[in-house]
Amino acid sequence: MKKILVLLCFLPMAAYAQQQKGFEYEFDHERPWVELQTQLPAYPNPENLLQFDAGPASTNLHYVDAPSITVGEDGVVRFTLVIKSPQGAMNVSYEGIRCQTAEKRTYAFGRNDKSWARARISKWVDLENIAQNYAQRALSRYFFCPGVRMVKDPEEAIDALKAGIHPRAVRY
């Protein structure tokens, strides 16, 4: 009986020690990042598009489809980007921006029949080193990741787009 009592007293201490060991390991060793599974949103409706200023690098008009904006627990803001040329051509893409690493990923492209085609090459790329990423850089800096901190929810992102800039953002 005495041995059982000693064993029962030791078990909670052992469990606590194991828990502390796990905490210390996680504290000292960064957990590997895992991206969440992505669901494609509904194709954008013109009445839901929010225009934003992507800077002077282009004469195109740039929009984000408000209902498509999600803020993932994986640290990725996902959204539908619509770019219209002065001649009326339109490009639609479903993309993600990872604020922590300043990277972007394209998941799918819009088709003329208002369906999605998954991107053949869909990988994370640096926002800063590719000149064509001016719209995504503007979204990252001024709307979705101001001050390198991700917006907390879609409403905060939508408010920033409607205001023309996030209150934490700094114009360069």
- What number is the average pLDDT over the span 34-40? 86
pLDDT greater than 90 at residue 72: yes
pLDDT at 3: 54
- What number is the average pLDDT over the span 94-98? 97
| Cα distance between residue 161 and residue 52, in whole Å | 6
141: Cβ contacts below 8 Å, ≥ 6 apart: 169, 172
pLDDT band for position 8 (50/70/90)?
very low
| Cα distance between residue 45 and residue 63, in whole Å | 11
- What number is the average pLDDT over the span 51-64? 93
pLDDT band for position 19 (50/70/90)?
low
What average pLDDT is seen over the chain? 86
pLDDT greater than 80 at residue 75: yes
pLDDT at 34: 83
Which segments within 22-113 are labelled E, that is strand? 49-52, 61-71, 76-84, 90-98, 103-110
Q: Tokens 């029962």 appear where?
A: 8
| Cα distance between residue 58 and residue 70, in whole Å | 26
- Over residues 132-170, the pLDDT tens digits come to 889 999 999 999 999 878 999 999 999 999 999 888 887
In three-state secondary structure terms, 79 is strand
User: Taking a C-beta distance cutoff of 8 angstroms, is the pair 108, 42 a contact?
Assistant: no
DSSP string for 77-95? EEEEEEEE-TTS-EEEEEE
pLDDT at 85: 96
Give the rounded percent of residues in the chain with a pLDDT score beyond 90. 65
In three-state secondary structure terms, 49 is strand
* Closest to 82 (Cα-Cα) out of 25, 126, 139: 139
For the CA atoms of 81, 82, 83, 89, the dihedral, rounded to the nearest 10 degrees, stands at: 150
